[in-house]
Chain A
Amino acid sequence: MKMTTVSDLRIAVICSSNMNRSMEAHAFLAKKGFLVQSYGTGDKVKIPGSAADKPNIYDFGVSYDEIYHDLLNKDKSLYTQNGLLHTLDRNRRIKSHPERFQETDEKFDILITCEERVYDQVVEFMETKTPIENSIVHVINLDIQDNLEEATIGAFLISDMCTKLAQTEDLDNDIEEVLHNFEEKCQRPILHSIVFN
């Protein structure tokens, strides 16, 4: 059954691995009825491993389900305890596998990044692309630490911001004001740039 959308805005939430922050926000925004997609910008999907210097690294094509089972086989208790299995279980119910932003052809109105480094990558990538649609894209960064608690708070903030952006009569006209108010309210530094699709 098709969900009713609250806004026509096409939103993408982007983090590094498309695992925690972006997926949390994806889930939150989708529930609210936004047209949302999520992506990562890294070379690989990196998730915590048994030690700090032993991360689990996967290609972007590998599905959440495969990762889930891989971790399950490696150390069920550890990954249950640190919440990774729960996260992966949630993710696989939203979409099949992590997606890399640089490889998508989808067009968006708003790109929300969860980390300054990701923001830089997104802006640089958009700059090197030849615009086809010529439509305006707003790239907004909201720094969110990569852990489960912060991801939840971040998703809430992103949802709040998107609601406000969706309420504007014309996004391009009013975004400066909305972001200014939002920054004051949430007391988090944000970045904003404009590129073309």
Chain B
Amino acid sequence: MTSVHVALAQAHKSTDTTQRLHNLKIVEAILLEQKQEVTLNNIESVLLFYTDSENSLQLFVLSFIEKLCSLYVEVACIPALQTLLKFYNTHPSPVLQKRAILTLCSIYKPIFQWISASAKVAAVHRKAWELLCVLRDRIVHLIPSSVPEAVRLSIYKYIQRVILVQTPVSFEVRDRGASQTEDNLNFNVSTLPYDHSLLSRADLVTEANSYVSLLINYLRNPVSATSLIVLTNLLSEIARKRPDYYLPRVLQSLIRLCQAFPAFQPYQLVSLKKQIKVHFMALRSVPLAKDFYSQISAIIESFGGNKAGKPLYLEPGAREKRLREESSERLRPKRTKPATTSGSSAQLLMRLDGLPHHVIVDLLLAHLARLPTSMPASFPQIMTVAQLYTISSATHKTERAFSNGVQTSNLKTHIDLNLKCVQNVEDSSGPAGPARVLEPATGADPKSKHTPFKVKPVPLKNCDKLAAFSRLLDSENDLFLQSGARKIRRALLAKLAQVQQVFEKYKDPAHSDFNDFTVLLRDVLTKDIRKHQTLAVAWLYEEYTSAMHKRRFGDKEIPTALCAGSGFAIEEAPTNSFKVDINTTDLEGAAGQMSRGAPPQYLERYLACYDFIVKIVKGIVNNEHRETLFRRFLLEVPEVSIEAFKAIEEFCNDEYRAKFGFESLYELVLYRPRYRAYSLNTLLAFTIIEKKLIRSLSGQVCVRLCAIDGDIKAKICNFAMKCLRYLEREPPDDVQEERSADDSVEQPSAGDAISTDPSTQESADRPSKRWPLESVQAYSSLFFALCMETPEFLKSLLPVYAQVKSEVQRGFLQAVTPVVLNFHSDAIFQKLFQNAPENSYQLLLFMLEIYTKHEPPSEALVDCIQELYARQKYPADILIPVITKLPKKDILSALPKLVLLREKATLKWMSYLLERRYEGVAPPISPTDFLLAVHDISVTQLTRDGLRYVHSHCFEMRSVFTQEVLANVIQRLVDRSTLPNLLMPTIIKALLTWPSLSNFVVNVLRRMVSKSIWQYTSLYKSFVKTCFKMGQSGYNILLELPPRALESAFSLHSDYRRTLAAYLELHPTLNVPESTKKLVLES
């Protein structure tokens, strides 16, 4: 402890940078070696040196962070991340900035691993993740700014790191076992528990996906040649390490780049091409790249590469294994004697070079059949031989290993016995005697002469093959993973299943048993396909390889290079796929109407095997979203059959398995470009069916696809628009409103209906047909699902809305609500209002109302609406949704127009204006001012009804127009020099609504007398009536009227005089002028 403190103290004291650095290195060495010294205090004391102005010290701190986090992440991560964050805030120089990004790049994985491994998420984990996210966002957002090139490159690297950490390892990569790189073995998100409370696997993958899109975007718009080279490197590595997720996208973007290179210096272009060639060579050996093989090969060839090159597909890990072997060979003891020439000193017992493949297979099978369940050590070697047979450099090794293997298994004795019978068979026997193997023709020493062996098929009659095969199949997965034997045994078993045709061809009854093996294999797969899935895939590849050979060479000699080895050597994808023949640009009527021609003859056997497997897998697929079995048979196999698509369609139609079905289609669209059109069309067909759940699931998948690829998005949008426009037409006969329940909406042959152009004249003669709501929903659901993500897409809805029938419009109004509620801002409305067709006004208004129900409109939107209203483009309705944000003067000026609106609209705008309250937004007008303004509207023929309705409705809003408000209004009205026309109705309704206002009203009436109420003809009648209704207080007021006014009041109703006379007689002492008394009592 003392030494750390002493060294730290000296580092602080020293003024010489070299000395300080020296002391800090001492501290670092102690901390890294002695765990007990790693305390928060010590760490922070070292990290504090980041504030030093010396670059060397700052660089030391960054390197210290890296080392510390790799060893003691739980203690070091928070101070390290905090230091990095503070470091960023100091705006470091580009060199330091670059170094800091690379530091973060290194510590991202250990920290992420530590957080994700924690069973219980504590505050410290949360904080670490928060800091990590903050730093990540900061760094990623640096790119668009004009950062130096070096920093930009580091950021790209950092993003790549994040992508690799946050994306699960592909099953193919995972399957490699021993060949996994350190990167994959240690950790990535695949080990993250699904129920982790802080990290969601789905979110992390989505995020990683978006970063890939970001990198691809930068690839499309490179800033410099250096950037472009780095991006191709990084993306290629991503594709190699996570092929399941990103390979097709990366390949597509690289291919696109090759089609149009940006303008750079010639040397830069040459370098770039070389780089891309290297990437393509590496990527084309990944199974998922199969669909791109022809394009990649063409590009490599155009760059001057060898098209044939290595086999397209080696079983997972084979390539790495080969590299490893080569490398280990090189690493063998170097201190050898100076050599003059190279030469193989291997003991050559047999000469296999030049033997037909089936002979080798024959030997291997014989070997295999006799092997016990527990394999001898030589087995992997022998099988490796089979795999490497295509490589000429491995020939001598093949010979050696094979001979050892044969000896180990005692096969040689067996072969010897057989050979005695055929010693006389010569090579001249030609194709009729194809199987020639073994045994030196003269018995001479093979070491010295390398004499070719004469060969014959090994009759296996004496071997208990079936028992041996059964054991082999049962123990397929039991072999030790690292030995590589499992993989090789699978490849051979697959070959065995396929090989029967070789023997059929030669009509050799000795090999009829191989048919039995196929039956055996089928049984095993039927019993437990999950356990034997890799074997099944290998079998498919064997069949496919054989089919491709047949197609290319007919019945000629089978070339060794194609058939030997793992059986995964596929030269190129068939160009005329029988399944997918859809013009993707024309989705009209596409989905559901695939051309399902007969499969080509050469694929018959392959398809039979594939369909058999699909049938088994179909039966056991559950609704697990993560079901990998079926997925594997879609993504890894060379050809996907119609049966597989039918199975997917079945899943999609089944509500319990629909999610899985759509997920399969999603992956096919993304990862199998050859089946993209077909898969996409199948998916789109489900977006217009009537089952809501299924429709919505398919819509969701479409939306996800749109977010990933621009081309796919264009196709989906195109289809959505065509479906929408279909509603502009007359509904076809089978989708009338009265149709039966099991009627289904015409499948995207909807498009056909468009293209066939039904006679409009005919439809005009018939009674008008109506679209049922379900059909409207079905045809528009995809469009609205897309709008959820891309609101701008709503622009396309407006012209359609203007054209469709009212019931379709109603359907649109229903469907648009969730879309509008999903808007993040109201900026979209400004775009929508510009150039909106005339008849779409109702839809716009509806959308605006929905939006403003929850969110106050922005200033910009209010200005836009006001401008549109001012230009008299739209009626006053348009103001309703934004009325709460209008200035008071504008509301008052618009009021005469507003009162003219329909009753329903009136209720709405009054409610918005007087009752709606947004948080933090003051009401634009008080109820008092509003009612006063209503009194100011001149009553005309036009406004009378509307005004009356508005006025009456005010008194129904008792919570707004309280008695205080009304009293205030009446008081202010009476105080005016001229009494408004609506004064008396207001007083009467106020009295009816709030009877407690009677005393106040009496006073008001009395004041009205002083205001010569009798001079207002329209008010006077109501005034008199009110007075009479008020009883004694009212009589007293009436008695205050001048005689002439009173007389005119009596003329209104004959009872008035009598009532007043009776009142005067009852109260003779009342102080009433004589003239009035006389007038009242004179009758």
Contacts and interface: CB of A to CB of B under 8 A. Distances in A.
B149 A127 contact: no
Dominant secondary structure of chain A at its interface with chain B: mixed
A192 B271 contact: yes
Interface string B154-166: 1001000100000
Contact of B278 (A60, A123, A171, A180): A123
Given A134-B161, A193-B229, 9 more contacts: A57-B339, A66-B338, A127-B233, A133-B102, A136-B230, A180-B265, A189-B270, A192-B271, A193-B275
Contact of B271 (A66, A133, A170, A191): A191
A193 B279 CA distance: 13
Contacts of B183: 130
B846 to A, nearest CB: 55
B340 interface: yes
Interface stretch (B117-125, B329-337, B726-734): B329-337
Interface in A155-176: 170-173, 175-176
- Size class of B's contact patch? 35 or more
Interface of A: 43-44, 49, 54, 56-62, 66-67, 70, 100, 102-103, 119-120, 123-124, 127-128, 130, 133-136, 170-173, 175-176, 179-180, 183, 189-196
Interface in B335-365: 335-336, 338-342
Contact of B157 (A43, A123, A196): A196
A173 B267 contact: no
B270 A59 contact: no
A169 to B, nearest CB: 8
Contacts of B150: 136, 170-173
A43 B331 CA distance: 11
B94 A170 contact: yes
A189 B334 CA distance: 36
A192 B275 CA distance: 9
Contacts of A196: 157, 233
Contacts of A189: 267, 270
B95 A170 contact: yes
A130 to B, nearest CB: 5
Given A43-B330, A136-B154, A170-B94, A191 B233 contact: no
Given A59-B336, A66-B338, A191-B271, A127 B237 contact: yes
24 contacts: A56-B340, A57-B342, A58-B338, A62-B334, A66-B338, A70-B338, A103-B331, A123-B278, A124-B278, A124-B282, A127-B233, A136-B153, A136-B154, A136-B230, A170-B150, A172-B149, A172-B153, A172-B226, A175-B226, A180-B267, A189-B270, A193-B229, A194-B229, A196-B157
Interface string B464-477: 00000000000000
Interface string B243-281: 000000000000000000000010110110011001101
A134 B339 contact: no
B274 A59 contact: no
A120 B252 CA distance: 24
A180 B98 CA distance: 24
Given A61-B334, A176-B224, A176-B225, A123 B275 contact: yes
Nearest to B236: A127
B993 to A, nearest CB: 78
Interface string B520-552: 000000000000000000000000000000000
B94 to A, nearest CB: 6
A57 B341 contact: yes
A170 B149 CA distance: 9
Given A120-B278, A134-B102, A172-B153, A60 B267 contact: no
A70 B337 CA distance: 10
B94 A173 contact: yes
Contacts of A124: 278, 281-282
B274 A100 contact: no
Dominant secondary structure of chain B at its interface with chain A: helix
Contacts of A43: 330
A160 to B, nearest CB: 17
Contact of A67 (B323, B338, B342): B338
Given A170-B148, A180-B265, A191-B271, A135 B334 contact: no
B483 to A, nearest CB: 23
A176 B230 CA distance: 13
Interface string B92-107: 0011001000100110
B97 to A, nearest CB: 10
Given A59-B336, A134-B161, A102 B330 contact: yes
Contacts of A170: 94-95, 98, 148, 150
Contacts of B270: 189, 191
Nearest to A136: B153
B306 to A, nearest CB: 12
Nearest to A73: B338
A39 to B, nearest CB: 14
B34 interface: no
B304 to A, nearest CB: 11
A190 B267 contact: yes
Contacts of A120: 274, 278
B278 A100 contact: no
Contacts of B106: 133-134
Contacts of A123: 274-275, 278
B203 to A, nearest CB: 25
Contacts of B330: 43, 100, 102-103
B429 interface: no
Interface string B288-323: 000000000000000000000000000000000001
A70 B336 CA distance: 13
A59 B340 CA distance: 10
A102 B279 CA distance: 18
B278 A192 contact: no
A173 B227 CA distance: 11
A127 B278 contact: yes
